[in-house]
Amino acid sequence: MIVAGIQFDIRWEDPARNHALVREQARAAAEGGARLVVLPEMFATGFTMRSSWAAEVGAESWRFMADLARELSLWILGGWVAADPAPGAAETPHNALSLFSPDGREVMRYHKIHRFALAGEEQHYAAGENLVSTEIEGVRITPLICYDLRFPELFRIAAATTDLFVVCANWPEVRSAAWRVLLRARAIENQAYLLGVNRVGVAGTLPHSGDSALLDPLGETLCAAAPHSPALLLGEVAPENVVATRRRFPFLNDRRPELYSALEAAWNSRPGNREEKAGDLQ
């Protein structure tokens, strides 16, 4: 299956303009044979902390993705702000991803599990509580959002039943080295394809270099977007390559998950041991 990532300069809090930019590139992706088109995190608004407003306009982006998927007869996966209050969280919306089928149906929705405290995201968005995954045209896909990339536990949980991880992001240039390394690490350690789709341009005072890429199950780069430039990334994902890689290198079979929780409990109970918090580290 050919997959596409749209790396573009998200116009700050301008859904109509961003929709127009995405439509143009999605059409080009369809012409290039793509069956799945992936958009960045919060593609219509940018990484805004005006969550109530973003949730209000989020319905427009939801309809836009549904209509675009139907119009082009392909799968669309994109980030938006969903007015899905968590239990006990009043009306706090979620930073979300939704997947739309070629007939315009929403078939999967993911809520970002790890909120980016350095930007105050936890003050404006509810935390997700569930991983989601689905199979489209023979490819098993698990989506995650931006900061989730720093938490390998999520990827490991889903690895055995995932061919392609997708990470949609607004990841700033100042930490672009970490973005590139972590994309490759997640692909290598889970022996799965990984498509990272990031934005370019400046949000507030933060430049974003993009560095979107598709990596294979050995962590080799199949295609990558030039930094700082809008780009349409096109690459092929073959589930049989995931199977072949895991048979040739059966590393995942050597895991000992039944032991890990016991090791963690024993480690944390050591005399004098304490869990370090970010504020404790100098």
Angular region, 178: left φ>0, alpha ψ -120 to 50, beta rest: alpha
Q: Does 31 participate in catalysis according to the annotation? A: no
- From the list 91, 129, 135, 146, the catalytic residue is 146
Q: Cβ atoms within 10 A of the Cβ of 122, count? A: 13
Spatial distance between the Cα atoms of 227 and 186, rounded to a whole number of angstroms: 21
Instruction: List the catalytic residue out of 13, 24, 41, 129.
Output: 41
Short-list 132, 115, 129, 91, CA closest to 42 = 115
Name, in order, each residue with C-beta under 8 angstroms of 85's C-beta and a sequence gap of 6 or more: 91, 92, 93, 126
Q: Which of 13, 106, 112, 220 is catalytic?
A: 112
**Residue among 52, 73, 50, 81 nearest 168 (CA):** 81
Q: Which residues contact residue 91 at a Cβ distance below 8 angstroms, ignoring those fewer than 6 apart?
A: 52, 83, 85
- Other beta carbons within 10 Å of 32: 11
Q: Are strands 164-168 and 193-197 parallel, antiparallel or unpaired?
A: parallel
Would residue 41 show up in a list of annotated catalytic residues for this protein? yes
Active site residue 137: no
Residues that are catalytic: 41, 112, 146
